[in-house]
Amino acid sequence: MTATRNLPGLDVSRETLSALQAYESLVQRWNTAINLVSKGTLADFWMRHVVDSAQVFTFCPEKAQTWVDLGSGAGLPGLVVAIIARELRPGLRVTLVESDLRKATFLRQAAQALELCVTVLSQRIESVPALSADVVSARALAPLADLLGFADQHLARDGVAIFPKGARYETEVVEARKAWSFDVVRQPSHSDAEAALLVIRNIRRAQD
């Protein structure tokens, strides 16, 4: 285990770090056949993808029982969350929603290889019946205004949405407020000094 392979803000075992490295190896192997992540990010996969996804877990409420990751793609952050939750929150049920059948196949195969108990729904987000999740996440999926629409559909009334966003996150917040009312806390990113995690509650349409 290399000294740099750690997770800021999380105290996890060597077994969990090893599982995350095994997950990284699976993505590297599958990426030659399926474009799971940009090839240019593979060399710095741990920081760009694992740390970036793991930090989302740090804002999981203590009483959360269900986590839904929308547009999971390579399992970022969904599979990373499931690996960490196995140790730190073993009762948390994780559901991954991914409409691309090839990526959904990867998610199922990776979950099986890593012995993770997750549910993979290979459907469009809009067509999935309301999931009433305690936590909803999405990474590199859509503008914030669209994400709030998805969260409004799948989040429990007192749930929290956690969306990692890049340098333009303030612009996205301003745009989203034209259609939505919501409470947001901006958390600094451990993986990108210009990025932030938007922790959002009380989502409702602006005219409501």
**Residues in binding site for S-adenosyl-L-methionine:** 71, 76, 125-126, 139
Binding residues are 71, 76, 125-126, 139
In contact, 81 and 52? CB cutoff 8 Å:
no
Quick one: CA torsion of 50, 53, 58, 62, rounded to 10 degrees?
A: -120
3-state SS record for 46-100: HHHHHHHHHHHHCCCCCCCCEEEEECCCCCCCHHHHHHHHHHHCCCCEEEEECCC
Q: d(Cα 105, Cα 30) in Å, to the nearest integer? A: 11
Q: d(Cα 140, Cα 154) in Å, to the nearest integer? A: 18
